[in-house]
Amino acid sequence: MSVKGFPGANLGVPLLLLMLLALMTLKVPPLLLDVSFTFNIALALVVLLVSVYALRPLEFAAFPTILLVATLLRLALNVASTRVVLLEGHKGSGAAGRVIEAFGEVVVGGNYVVGLVVFVILVIINFVVVTKGAGRISEVSARFTLDAMPGKQMAIDADLNAGVIDQEQARRRREEVGQEADFYGSMDGASKFVRGDAVAGILILLINIIGGLTIGMAQHGLDFSQAIQNYTLLTIGDGLVAQIPSLLLSTAAAIIVTRVSGESDMSKQVMSQMFDDPRALAVAGSVLLVLGLVPGMPHMVFLFLAVMAIGGAWLIRRRAQVPPVATEDASVPDDEEDAPIDVGWEDVAPVDVLGLEVGYRLIPLVDRQQGGELLNRIRGVRKKLSHELGFLVPPVHIRDNLDLLPGSYRLSLMGVTLGEAEIHPEKFLAIDPGEVFGRLEGIEAKDPAFGLDAVWIEGGDRETAQTLGYTVVDASTVVATHLNQVMQEHAAELLGHDEVQQLLDMLAEGAPKLAEQLVPGSISLSGLLRVLQNLLAEKIPIRDLRTIAETLSDAGQTVKDTDQLTALVRAALGRMIVQNIYGGSETLDVITLDPELEQLLIQARGQGGAGEAPMIEPGMAERLQRSVLTAAERQEIAGKPAVLLVSSAIRGLLSRFVRFSKQMIHVLAYEEIPDNKQITVVSTIGKGA
């Protein structure tokens, strides 16, 4: 049965508070003091071992709270033991219980001078060495963790956008980032409790000795030697009983803040990192052997340790030597001469819809047996895009290409190269999102997907880069993000007749009559493909196939032009289009054209052929494009989407006019705005723009 399900688990905190109050206010019998001190030592040991066996600091996130509670418990025990020592100390060393007596008599041999020296040494170790170092590390870790939060959040967003993780995994990772910041912030404050506890131990020792001497000599008539013998031994025993758990907890705090997250606990990390390479042991054993042969040295001790170190190095080296495994080479051809073979249709390889070619150094990225993660990430990208766009994105065919540079890759669509870059699979790419707090040493580069400044860095510099505000991703994520960006830009070309037929089959399962009436009754399969491609070309998903089919089924009998059908479908999908751009905002900030300019463009379009650009003078076209881009930049600076609202007659033409601009500009028609939305015109572009 778990602790959570234990009937009295909720009473733990109130009972602990009552116990602390009782220890501070009531006279505690020696037997209860013995139990309490023993429990305090056991608690410190458990906390220390949990810190050692935790794989990462967040697995012991309750440590700051436990540290505070343990400190309060120890101080309460000091108050209770002080009361007993001062009241009963004249009776001898056993007046305050067996535990304090044992630490006063056995640990320091009954000599209060030795006990005082041992206590001072323990305080110095705890206060000056362990606590001070742990406190400094806590301060630095808290500051670096808080500084690195934006970079870690952007890395999570990059993995989410690349399809490497889903929404639930991203939520959990964001929670871990927040918990990590809270933990190190709490540890920074908790280290102050440990320092205060060490100072309190020194003051309590001095107060007990002075108070004991005064009470023993003034109230109980003891001579000076007897009084200092009794009260000093009891006080030192009391101090040692409290100082040893304090040292254990300080050590646990130091271990927690110096831990590096990994897949193994601290003992396994130390063993693997210190003794995997036999050279260190061999050299250390050789040095001990030389020292053992020097005259006057303790030969047996040095020679024994030298033999142990050299023997251990030999065993480690022998264990690391794995005999080669014989494998069959199925690719070795026979000595027989190949028979001539005629050329056939099987020699004509079809063009891959999506292709990824890699240089030979990138082959481990796509090989699962070598730990390659790229295939899983590409699968995540396909799954994410298929869900967002509304159709199954074709698979990516991956092959090696010896003509490429060893660290290069190439992305192609229908055999045409759309992007290529050179990466370093053993390094990480630190991307500058636009606001960083320092420079990094590494190989300068550009992010292949978005063209941002970046630096290829070593794995050990990853935390530093995130602290400085960089977004750090591995080589597989770089390729997957680039592929995701290319697939989004060319989504319309990924949709073919086979995919449209699959969509119709899915529609027929839920609405068979609608599917039957749509194709070929209202529109041909090629016409439907053209309309869907028009939507995808303007970043409009086709998930709502039912609305698309109903609109085309109604209008397809009379309207045959695919651009006009696309405009009708866009109007039907207006609510979704506006929501994708503005979210849940009720007020829509838009850019409009001056009525005179809009009428001029409509007339110019009527003079040109179908699908052609408006017949306007080049100078005016240039001014129009510059004005639209300027207005879009103002919207981008204000943190709002850039939307150009125009008449449906010229919407398609203006959309193609601004499609390849640097700014993301949405061109909407008046008919696409839902009735429940309020329009706010933030800029009007006139004829003389």
User: 584-689 — its CATH code?
Assistant: 3.40.50.12790
- Alpha-helix runs per DSSP H in 54-166: 63-88, 98-102, 112-124, 132-161
Question: Cα 641 to chain center, whole Å?
Answer: 29
What mean pLDDT is reported for the chain? Answer: 79
Question: Cα 653 to chain center, whole Å?
Answer: 43
Q: How confident is the model at residue 335 (pLDDT cuts 50, 70, 90)?
A: very low
Of 214-223, 254-263, 386-395, 520-529, the least confident: 254-263
Q: How confident is the model at residue 328 (pLDDT cuts 50, 70, 90)?
A: very low
Number of residues assigned to the chain = 689
- For residue 270, the model assigns a pLDDT of 66
Report the alpha-carbon angle 175-181-182, nearest 5. Answer: 85
Residue 626 predicted with pLDDT over 90:
no
Structure tokens at 109: 């041999």
Q: How far is Cα 34 from Cα 96, in angstroms, rounded to an integer?
A: 9
Residue 141 predicted with pLDDT over 70:
no
Q: What percent of the chain has pLDDT over 70?
A: 81
Q: How far is Cα 347 from Cα 336, in angstroms, rounded to an integer?
A: 23
Encode 141-155 in three state secondary structure: HHHHHHHHHHHHHHH
Q: How far is Cα 570 from Cα 190, in angstroms, rounded to an integer?
A: 59
Encode 532-551 in three state secondary structure: HHHHHHCCCCCCCHHHHHHH
Q: How far is Cα 409 from Cα 365, in angstroms, rounded to an integer?
A: 11
More confidently predicted of 605 and 206? 206
Domain at 495-572: CATH architecture: Orthogonal Bundle (1.10)
Residue 492 identity (one-letter amino acid): A
Mean pLDDT of 463-488: 90
More confidently predicted of 23 and 534? 534
Q: How far is Cα 40 from Cα 34, in angstroms, rounded to an integer?
A: 10
Q: Count H helices, E strands: the chain? A: 24, 12
The answer to whether residues 552 and 641 touch, using CB atoms and an 8 Å cutoff, is no
- Checking 113-117 for CB contacts under 8 A at 24+ apart, the result is 115/232, 115/233, 115/236, 115/237, 115/240, 116/232, 116/236
- For residue 265, the model assigns a pLDDT of 59
Q: How far is Cα 17 from Cα 570, in angstroms, rounded to an integer?
A: 67
Helix H or strand E segment including 472? strand 471-474
CATH superfamily of 350-490: FHIPEP family, domain 1 (3.40.30.60)
Mean pLDDT of 28-34: 79
Residue 333 predicted with pLDDT over 60:
no
* Of 56, 53, 466, 52, the residue nearest 261 (C-alpha): 56
CA torsion angle for 283, 285, 286, 288 (degrees, to 10)?
130
- For residue 327, the model assigns a pLDDT of 39
The answer to whether residues 55 and 263 touch, using CB atoms and an 8 Å cutoff, is yes
Residue 616 predicted with pLDDT over 80:
no
Q: How far is Cα 198 from Cα 258, in angstroms, rounded to an integer?
A: 21
Q: What percent of the chain has pLDDT over 90?
A: 14
- The DSSP secondary-structure symbol of 343 reads -
- For residue 254, the model assigns a pLDDT of 78
Helix axes 648-658, 595-607, angle to 10 degrees: 90
pLDDT digit string, tens, across residues 114-127? 777 777 787 777 77
Residue 605 predicted with pLDDT over 80:
no
Q: How far is Cα 278 from Cα 275, in angstroms, rounded to an integer?
A: 6
* Of 390, 370, 374, the residue nearest 482 (C-alpha): 374
pLDDT digit string, tens, across residues 55-73? 777 777 787 888 888 888 8
Mean pLDDT of 663-675: 87
* Of 432, 455, 437, 439, the residue nearest 146 (C-alpha): 437
- For residue 627, the model assigns a pLDDT of 87
pLDDT digit string, tens, across residues 228-252? 777 777 777 777 777 788 888 888 8
The answer to whether residues 428 and 462 touch, using CB atoms and an 8 Å cutoff, is yes
* Of 352, 362, 375, 477, the residue nearest 409 (C-alpha): 362
- The DSSP secondary-structure symbol of 672 reads G
- Map residue 587 onto helix, strand or coil: strand
Of 293-302, 445-454, 606-615, the least confident: 606-615
The answer to whether residues 130 and 187 touch, using CB atoms and an 8 Å cutoff, is no
pLDDT digit string, tens, across residues 490-513? 999 999 889 999 999 999 998 888
Instruction: Encode 140-162: b = buried (16+ Cβ within 10 Å), e = exposed.
Output: ebbeebeebbbbbbbbbebbbbb
- For residue 422, the model assigns a pLDDT of 92
